[in-house]
Amino acid sequence: MNSASPPLTSLSRVAGRAAAAAPPDTPVKIEADRLNFYYGPKRALDGISIRIRTNLVTAFIGPSGCGKSTFLRTLNRMNDIIPATRVEGTVLLDGKDVYDPHVDVVALRRRVGMVFQKSNPFPKSIFENVAYGLRINGMARTRAELNDRVEESLRQAAIFEEVKDRLNDSALALSGGQQQRLCIARALAIRPEVLLMDEPASALDPIATQRIEELIYDLKKTYTIVIVTHNMQQAARVSDHTAFFWLGRLVEYDRTDRIFTAPAEKLTEDYVTGRCG
């Protein structure tokens, strides 16, 4: 980026202007505007404004409890399931507020898929795990179509070759890394536009982690990916943009290379260099 690039986000600036810092590479997919989130009386997110861009990987980093996972879960309204939570502000997906009372949450989650920190396959066969989303959403009219979509999803998640001979075996017999890729395949099967990943590799060994990272790199051609990670090397490796969260606030959001080499905020620099957090 040259010197004419827009000013960087900072705590000292008004939250509404923070999003202006996003590098204008591709169209905006998700835009949060002054988003506050409460668990009961406790405020967990404070004025988050951010623009997440299409077909890029955006990483959320920050110490535990900084709100990055909570924010991720506001994007597909997964927090709705938790009682006594409350949202203020807006989250726009393709310009439409996902918290509008008329929004169909089920349809929203179909467009914004999610992969969780701990792999959570259903206690069913590998095939049924992937087929479930297709079935409940009525996305495959014939058995052949269902088979095709399941295979396609497993291929996209780079796990098909490993499981093609045992699609009817229980998913719980797979290794941790395979289970997580199966969960990714399951999320991809219903062809979402956005894929949210909440520390998808934190419970995996380095080799399984590497496979997930390679997968993320391939998937961004088709999907907009948002990934929460504790691992800063991982954020540096896989993401195009990085957002740094601290105590429920978005401290800085910029191109990943700038966050890691020349952050604008002292706090960001301290965190990415390991001096705090």
Partner 1 sequence: MKHRADLAFRVVAMATLVVALVTLGALIIDVMADGAGRLSWQFLTSLASRRPEDAGIYHALAGSIWVIVLTGLFALPLGVASAVYLEEYGTASRLARFIEINISNLAAVPSIIYGLLGLGLFVRTMNMGRSVLAGACTLALLALPVVILSTREALRTVPKSIREASYALGATKWQTIWYQVLPMAFPGILTGLILSLSRAIGETAPLITIGALTYIPFAPDSVWSPFTVLPIQIFNWVSRPQAAFKENAAAGILVLMALLLAMNAAAVFLRDRFQQQGRS
Among 15, 19, 167, 187, binds partner 1 (CB under 8 A): 187
Confirm if 248 and 66 have CB atoms less than 8 A apart. Answer: yes
Burial of 60 (C-beta count, 10 Å sphere; 0-12/13-18/19+): buried
Residue closer to partner 1 (CB basis): 183 or 225: 183
Identify the CA nearest to 58 among candidates 82, 32, 35, 89. 32
14 binds partner 1 (CB under 8 A): no
Burial of 3 (C-beta count, 10 Å sphere; 0-12/13-18/19+): exposed
Residue closer to partner 1 (CB basis): 52 or 134: 134
Single-letter amino acid code for the residue at 66: C
138 binds partner 1 (CB under 8 A): no
- The vertex-67 CA angle with 66 and 69, nearest 5°, equals 120
Identify the CA nearest to 72 among candidates 20, 37, 118. 37
x-or-dash string of contact with partner 1, 61-80, rule CB under 8 A: ---------------x-x--
Among 126, 150, 183, 208, binds partner 1 (CB under 8 A): 183
In this structure, the dihedral spanned by the alpha carbons of residues 164, 168, 173 and 179, taken in order and rounded to 10 degrees, is 60
Among 25, 26, 65, 107, binds partner 1 (CB under 8 A): 107
Residue closer to partner 1 (CB basis): 66 or 187: 187
Name the minimum Å distance from CB 128 to partner 1.
10
Per CB under 8 A, residues contacting partner 1 are 76, 78, 81, 83, 106-107, 109-110, 113-114, 116, 118, 120-124, 132-133, 136-137, 170, 172-173, 183, 186-187, 190
